[in-house]
A and B are shown apart, each in its own frame.
Chain A
Amino acid sequence: DAGITQSPRHKVTETGTPVTLRCHQTENHRYMYWYRQDPGHGLRLIHYSYGVKDTDKGEVSDGYSVSRSKTEDFLLTLESATSSQTSVYFCAIQGAFGAEAFFGQGTRLTVV
C-alpha cells in the first residue's frame, strides 16, 4: 500500500470550532488532494496541491483552507466548523498527472 496516513481517523467537534485534518505521505509524490464523501454525492474535490506552497481550489472549497509547507504534509482546516461539514474526508496522492492516485483510509468528522 502507498504510504499515506490520515489523522485523526475520527473526530467529533462542536459547531464554530476550528478543526485541522492532516494527510502525511512517505512517497514524495508531488500532487496531493482532499476530497469529501457524502451519501448520494460520491467524492468531491475540496482543494489540491501541486507542490510545496502551491495549492488551488476544487469544486467544494467554501469553508475550507489548506496548507502545504512540506512535500509530505497536506493540512485541511475548517476555520469554523458547521454541521454541513460533517462528512468523511479522504486524502489522495499522485506521483504525476495521468498516474494512478492513492487514497488514505479517511477521516470521519462529525460536527455537532
Chain B
Amino acid sequence: DAKTTQPPSMDCAEGRAANLPCNHSTISGNEYVYWYRQIHSQGPQYIIHGLKNNETNEMASLIITEDRKSSTLILPHATLRDTAVYYCIVRETGANNLFFGTGTRLTVIP
C-alpha cells in the first residue's frame, strides 16, 4: 500500500471549517483514500473514503486532487468533539490491512 504524509498537528477554531491535508504521491490507480479518526483512547472511527471523485457524507467531505497525489478532509463546522487524531490511509479494496501512520492531531479551540 502507498504511504501517506500528514502534518503532525493542527488547530481549528470552533465553528470554522477544518481542512486536513494528506499527501499520497505514490498512490496507484486501484487504491482508495480512507479517513479515520481516533478520539482520545477510543477505537478508530470511520469517516469517509473515495477513489477519485469528491465525496461527502454527514460527517465530512473528501476532496481528491485530479492527479490523486493528495487529498483534503473537510469538517465543515468543527466542534470541540471533533478534537481527535485523524488518519489518512490508502488501500486497495482487496488488501487485508489498514496501514495507520501517526496521523494529524486536530485540536478544536473554543
Contacts and interface: CB of A to CB of B under 8 A. Distances in A.
Nearest to B43: A103
Contact of B101 (A42, A88, A90, A106): A42
A97 B101 contact: no
A56 B96 contact: yes
Nearest to A31: B96
Interface string A29-62: 0010101000011111100101000001011000
Contact of A103 (B32, B45, B97): B45
Given A40-B102, A42-B87, A42-B103, A90 B44 contact: yes
Contacts of B95: 97
B97 A100 contact: no
Given A98-B32, A100-B49, A102-B46, A88 B41 contact: yes
A101 B98 contact: yes
A77 interface: no
A90 B38 CA distance: 12
Given A48-B97, A98-B93, A42 B102 contact: yes
Contacts of B97: 33, 45, 48, 58-59
A56 to B, nearest CB: 7
A2 to B, nearest CB: 10
Nearest to B93: A98
Contacts of A103: 43-45
Interface in B20-73: 32, 34, 41-46, 49
Contacts of B98: 43, 45, 92, 101
Most buried by A among B45, B87, B97: B97
B60 to A, nearest CB: 13
Contacts of A43: 44, 98, 100
B110 interface: no
Contact of B43 (A31, A42, A58, A105): A105
Interface of B: 32, 34, 41-46, 49, 87, 93-98, 100-103
> Which 4 pairs, one residue from A and one from B, show the smallest C-beta to C-beta distance?
A103-B43, A100-B46, A98-B93, A43-B100
